[in-house]
Amino acid sequence: MFHNYKLKNLDLKLIIAVIALTIIGILVIGSANESNQQKQILGMILGIFVMTAMAIIDYDFLLHFHWLFYVLVLGLLASVLLFGDESGGATRWIDVGIRFQPSELAKILLILFFSWFFMMHEEEINKTKIIFITLVLSAIPLFLIEKEPDLSTTIVTMMIICVMIFVTGISYKLVGIVVGVSVPSLIILLVLISQEGQTILDEYQGLRILAWLKPEEYPSSSYQQQNSIMAIGSGQLMGKGLGNEAFDSVKNGNYISEPHTDFIFAVAGEELGFIGSALIIALIFFITIEILLIAKRAKDIAGKLICVGIATLIGFQSFVNICVVTGLMPNTGLPLPFVSYGLTSLVTIYFGVGIVLNVGLQSKNNNGRLF
């Protein structure tokens, strides 16, 4: 199994960047909610063990269990709907001695499954039959995630699958048709949602969009984002310092509920300032690009798709999270990878990075340029 591995191809830069970003997250979490800092440290330690194990295990071997991964995803997501734990009006967790969020693991397992599926059908990817099967295989887990309800994770997972099928070689004509239909449909959807009494989305989802479009008319729903923007702006260049006791701190005044999770970037902006925020964004960007470089060198299409899927997960989810915190998108409830508190999110993303490292260990020799 190890004869294809080239130790010189182990991407130490990626490992260092991932650990550095996690440590920054731990420091900010400690400032936002000190009681959760120790748990996040344990999560990082467990994540490093998982990443190391997955870097050693041949991803070709993992792909032999493709259908098992898919069935496991459906089973876990169905179990959430049947006997999951409810919190904040959503049922997204199950408790089996430890409480975890199956949709986070589902994203990684679906990347593995579709990497195998698209590899097997690379030459037929533009045939109607394969497109239809892809839609069906995608729709089932997406439907189960949306029913939790978790629209934001549904969108991220759908984006991952779309990027993977694009990289496989889907026709540009089909891409153009989809974009041509989607863009005006999205505009029409936003117009309809902005109307009072809309029934397209659940009430809380509609309120989040309305609060984003008209924050002054929905203060009880928009305060989180507005206070987040205020917190980031107040950090100015250098920030107020980690764990500060400033009387004018948005965090210290509890103006952001659960700042250690989805709105952790607001705390980073206030306490680390523009420099700290820029460092977080730079590390996320570096990690995403580094994974895409590994995809460029992958020995086969499956390895390439695994890397592209993980890069899309990290890059797109980070983009959405930061856009939400800065008021550029409606509140979605997505964590910031490696930074937000959440053991399931942290360990599973390390799980994905470990598989990427394995792809890199077996990469072919080339110049490694992205373009």
pLDDT category at 368 given cuts 50, 70, 90 is very low
Give domain status of residue 253, yes or no. yes
Structure confidence by residue, pLDDT tens digits, 156-211: 999 999 999 999 999 888 888 877 877 787 777 767 766 666 666 666 666 777 77
| Residues 6+ positions from 325 with CB-CB distance below 8 Å | 225, 228, 229, 232, 262, 263, 265, 266, 269
Please give the residue range of the domain that contains residue 274: 2-361
pTM, two decimals, is 0.90
Average model confidence (pLDDT) for the chain? 87
Give domain status of residue 367, yes or no. no
Average pLDDT over residues 357-362: 95
Give domain status of residue 370, yes or no. no
Give domain status of residue 41, yes or no. yes
| Residues 6+ positions from 309 with CB-CB distance below 8 Å | 111, 114, 115, 160, 163, 164
Average pLDDT over residues 209-220: 70
Q: What is the model's pLDDT at position 369?
A: 45
pLDDT at 240 over 80: yes
Give domain status of residue 369, yes or no. no
Give domain status of residue 216, yes or no. yes
Among 41-45, 168-172, 291-295, which stretch is predicted with the lowest mean pLDDT?
Answer: 168-172
How many domains does the chain contain in total?
Answer: 1
- Tell me 249's DSSP state: -
Give domain status of residue 368, yes or no. no
Residues 305 and 296: their CA atoms lie apart, in Å, by 10
Residue pair 323/257 in contact by the 8 Å Cβ criterion: no
Structure confidence by residue, pLDDT tens digits, 95-119: 776 778 899 999 999 999 999 999 9
- Tell me 261's DSSP state: T
| Residues 6+ positions from 189 with CB-CB distance below 8 Å | 200
Give domain status of residue 355, yes or no. yes
pLDDT at 215 over 80: no
pLDDT at 44 over 60: yes
Q: What is the model's pLDDT at position 223?
A: 73
Structure confidence by residue, pLDDT tens digits, 242-274: 877 766 676 666 667 777 888 899 999 999 999
pLDDT at 45 over 60: yes
For 299, the token pair is 């020995």
pLDDT at 68 over 90: yes
Q: What percent of the chain has a predicted confidence (pLDDT) above 70?
A: 87
